[in-house]
Amino acid sequence: MSKNVSFGLATVFASWICSATINATDTATYTATELAINQDDSITFERHVRPILKAHCFHCHGEDGEKEAGIDLRLVRLMKESGAVDSAVPSASMLLEQVESGAMPSGAKKLPDEEIDLIRRWLETGLKTIRVEPEVVPDYEITEIERSHWAFQPIVSPSIPSNGQSHPIDALVRAKMTEKEFDFAPTADKVTLLRRASYDLHGIPPTPEAVDAFVNDNEDGGWLRAIDRLLASPHYGERWGRHWLDVVGYADSNGGPKDSTREHAWHYRDYVVQAFNEDKPWTDFIQEQVTGDVWRIRVG
Ligand code: HEC
């Protein structure tokens, strides 16, 4: 159990709220088009074509022993062997013919034009692969795309653009927004700002006293002090703990026709709320829940 990573819950949400960022969640999926744009190099099977076939074709042509019409699309070698790809004249391949005509994937959903175009360009540019293909198709494979997901990359410090923003997150957001020809919304007045922060961190509007305290605090750092007061309040854990409780399916009763009460469930609810309020490190929070029954015994 490592105590080095003291990356607490409140830290995460505090840095989130302190910056004027939009909480845009990065998605796990890349469209084939995005990949094509991101890679100015050659079109390869692993990066560009396989994801399309994996999403639309493998379940009938390769996976789980399914090989409709004898066609296996999981490797370039297998595509050639099964006749889907014509190595002599790749652009005349059945693979292309089937997706262009809309015959494949069989069913109502057809491939978007840009994906068909990628397949065509891949065929025309010599069926490139990144690696030598394996002898045996692995049962389970972590693909290039899955591996390149941002959440699995080592943490690096990005260089912070100097564009007049005082907070580094704002500087990064500003740089991206400028690129897209967007601008920040106008700076909010103090009452509006505190109201927004209160809804974010507590789920309820600020009290008149909290508004007065912030409006009358004109020293440097007034905003950070206001955020600290919000984070110090028990309402913070009540509000943000709820997201976790939603995810784990917390309920005080069983639901359904016989809606019996779960008498002791509140212990867990309070534990989650308290974890947020105490700024418990993520590592502890997760470990306690995944292995709490044995972990406490082992270290304690
Ligand atoms: C739901 C199952 C299913 C899916 C998904 C599917 N296929 Fe097929 N495919 C079949 C069947 C069944 C046949 C054989 C009968 C036919 O030609 O309709 C076939 C035949 C083919 C053939 C051979 C055609 C011929 O004339 O011999 C190719 C090439 C092919 N599919 C490519 C693809 C590609 C590429 C995709 C994905 C874009 C795909 N298929 C998705 C079921 C499927």
- Per-residue pLDDT of the chain (300 residues), as tens digits, is 333 334 455 544 444 443 333 333 333 344 454 444 445 578 999 889 998 999 999 999 998 889 999 999 999 999 999 999 999 999 999 999 999 999 999 887 899 999 999 999 999 999 999 888 888 887 777 776 778 888 999 999 999 999 999 899 999 999 999 999 999 999 999 999 999 999 999 999 999 999 999 999 999 999 999 999 999 999 999 999 999 999 999 999 998 888 999 999 999 999 999 999 999 999 999 988 888 778 766 554
Q: How far apart are CA 18 and CA 36, in angstroms?
A: 36
Full domain range(s) for residue 69: 32-147
Query: Residue 33 is which amino acid?
Result: T
Q: How far apart are CA 234 and CA 229, in angstroms?
A: 10
> Is 128 in the same domain as 204?
no
How far apart are the CA of 39 and the centre of ligand 1, in A?
Answer: 29
Q: How far apart are CA 284 and CA 7, in angstroms?
A: 10
Residue nearest to atom 21 of ligand 1 (CA): 69
Q: What is the 3-state secondary structure (H, E, C) of 40-87?
A: CCCCCHHHHHHHHHHHHCCCCECHHHCEHHHCCCCCHHHHHHCCCCCC
For residue 168, being part of any structural domain is answered with no
> Is 203 in the same domain as 119?
no
Among 94, 114, 147, residue at a domain's last position? 147
For residue 250, being part of any structural domain is answered with yes
> What residue ranges line ligand 1, CB within 6 angstroms?
53, 56-57, 59-61, 68-69, 71, 84, 94-95, 98-99, 104-107, 111
How far apart are the CA of 219 and the centre of ligand 1, in A?
Answer: 70
For residue 10, being part of any structural domain is answered with no
Q: How far apart are CA 89 and CA 103, in angstroms?
A: 21
